[in-house]
Amino acid sequence: MTTEITITRPDDWHLHVRDGAALQAVVPHTAAQFGRAIIMPNLKPPVTTAAQALAYRDRIRAAVPAGMNFEPLMTLYLTDNLPADEIARARDAGVVACKLYPAGATTNSDAGVTDLRKTYKTLEAMQRAGLLLLVHGEVTSPDIDLFDREAVFIEQQLIPLRRDFPELKIVFEHITTREAAQYVRDADRFTGATVTAHHLLYNRNAIFTGGIRPHYYCLPVLKRETHRLALVEAATGGNPRFFLGTDSAPHPAHLKEHASGCAGCYTAHAALELYAEAFDAAGALDKLEGFASFHGADFYGLPRNSGTVTLRRESWNAPEQFAFGDAQLKPLRGGEPLLWRLA
């Protein structure tokens, strides 16, 4: 039995760090594990200009503990009227991507896109400039069952988008279904996908075991076991189109344990440990390094990290909660045993 693995320092290709005191609380967790992270722009108000992205990057860098090397990679929030000429400024500022939130799909998506046609000039500019499009792939129509929203998005939105922008690099973020895994596997080299640790480890039963469990609620919501198995197969199969993106999404505990609880699982405190557990359960620890450290960098056209991290097979309990500004943050699996530990 493998008791220790050392991999090239990994990156997190999908992360929420919020702002202010919340940001101060969570950035050290990610910086301890990852070399870089793609920072989601769904602040209130959203990050929609190159100047805002640069200022946000400075605030994140200032929260990195001394002695840790961590680089935030910035994104802009696509809206119906993000001007096409902001794209060149964004590229010059080092922004690497824009995030598409269909309006109303998830946390802070009110300013999101109501009709993809309205963004076509901006998408053309992105395709020219080499910025990636990161997609929250769910339709928002109330007529569509919540559990079907990702599969329907592929048919209604993603296939036409792919056809109209054949050379735009698209990352289908936090995929949750067999349909999404198949779509990405069969697509061309301009399409990739991130997979979270929680979607590899849990199916939708986790939300309802012994009562409603809000800390397992995220969007896209956990799906049934057949989908989880398809995601495990995709992530552990060595295919370079699939890479690590935690979607770690911190919310104050009292707003998750609420009549209308917020969507988002916090996993940054033990992200690699959770992925190692999922890969180990699949007998695929040897595939973790590609997924965590190589595929994302290659897809983005960025250099791979130097340096390594080591994980040991060791049972330990993560804290039940962390201070989060004036509130508390309850991490996934907090207070319960984790099977791997970052050395």
Query: Judged by CB, which is closer to Zn ion: 19, or 314?
Result: 19
Task: Give the count of residues interacting with ligand DOR (CB under 6 A).
Answer: 10
Print the binding letters for residues 201-230 with ligand DOR: x by CB under 6 A, - otherwise.
-----------------xx-----------
Instruction: Choose from Zn ion, ligand DOR, none: what does 264 bind? Cβ within 5-8 Å by kind.
Output: ligand DOR
140 vs 308 by CB, closer to ligand DOR: 140
HSE toward the beta carbon, residue 122, CA cutoff 13 A: 27
Using left for φ > 0, alpha for ψ between -120 and 50, and beta otherwise, residue 75 falls in: beta
From ligand DOR, Zn ion, none, interface partner of 219 (C-beta below 5 to 8 A by class): ligand DOR
Can you tell me the distance from the alpha carbon of 138 to that of 33, in angstroms, rounded to the nearest whole number?
29
Least distance to ligand DOR, CB of residue 233, Å? 23
In the window 85-114, what residues touch ligand DOR (CB under 6 A)?
A: 106-107
- Assigned token pair, 300: 């983005």
Which member of 85, 247, 280, 286 is catalytic?
A: 247
Question: In a 3-state reduction of DSSP, which class is residue 80?
Answer: coil
Q: Is 116 in the site for ligand DOR (CB under 6 A)?
A: no
Helices and strands (H, E) in the chain, number of each type = 13, 14
Footprint of Zn ion on this chain (CB under 5 A)? 247
Find all residues with CB under 8 Å of 165, minimum gap 6, and list them. Answer: 123, 124, 127, 133
Partner interacting with residue 42 (select from ligand DOR, Zn ion, none; CB below 5-8 Å by kind): ligand DOR
Query: Which residue minimizes CB distance to Zn ion?
Result: 247
Task: Considering only CA atoms, give the Rg of the chain.
Answer: 19
DSSP letter string over 13-54? EEE---SHHHHHHHHHHHHHH-SEEEEP---SS---SHHHHH
Percentages of the chain per state (helix, strand, coil), in multiples of 5: 40, 20, 45
Instruction: For the CB of residue 343, give the shortest distance to Zn ion in the complex, in Å.
Output: 28
Q: Which does 161 bind (CB under 5 to 8 A by kind): ligand DOR, Zn ion, none?
A: none
Nearer to ligand DOR, 5 or 262 (CB): 262
Q: Is residue 177 near ligand DOR by the rule CB under 6 A?
A: no
Contact 179, 187 (CB under 8 A): no
Task: Report how far residue 121's alpha carbon sits from residue 118's, in angstroms, rounded to the nearest whole number.
Answer: 8
Residue 247 a catalytic site member? yes
Smallest gap, in angstroms, from Cβ of residue 127 to ligand DOR? 24
DSSP character at residue 64: S
Alpha carbon distance 289, 177 (integer Å): 23
- Quick note: the x/- pattern for ligand DOR over 118-137, rule CB under 6 A, is ------------------x-
State the binding partner of 228 from Zn ion, ligand DOR, none, CB within 5 to 8 A by kind.
none
* Beta-bridge partner residues of 72: 37
In the shown chain, the binding pattern of residues 239 to 278 toward ligand DOR, with x for contact by CB under 6 A and - for none, equals ----------x-------------xx--------------
What residue 169 binds from Zn ion, ligand DOR, none (CB within 5 to 8 A, per partner kind)? Answer: none
- Each residue 35-54 as x (binds ligand DOR by CB under 6 A) or -, in order, gives -------x------------
Beta carbon nearer to ligand DOR, 29 or 305? 29
DSSP-assigned states of every residue in 284-343: -GGGHHIIIIIHHHHHHT-PPPPSEEEEEEEEEE--S-EEETTEEE--TTTTSEEEEEE-
Are the C-beta atoms of residues 49 and 86 closer than 8 Å to each other? yes
The nearer residue to Zn ion, 247 or 277, going by C-beta atoms, is 247
Residues within the interface to ligand DOR (CB under 6 A): 16, 42, 106-107, 136, 218-219, 249, 263-264
Q: Which residues are designated catalytic?
A: 247
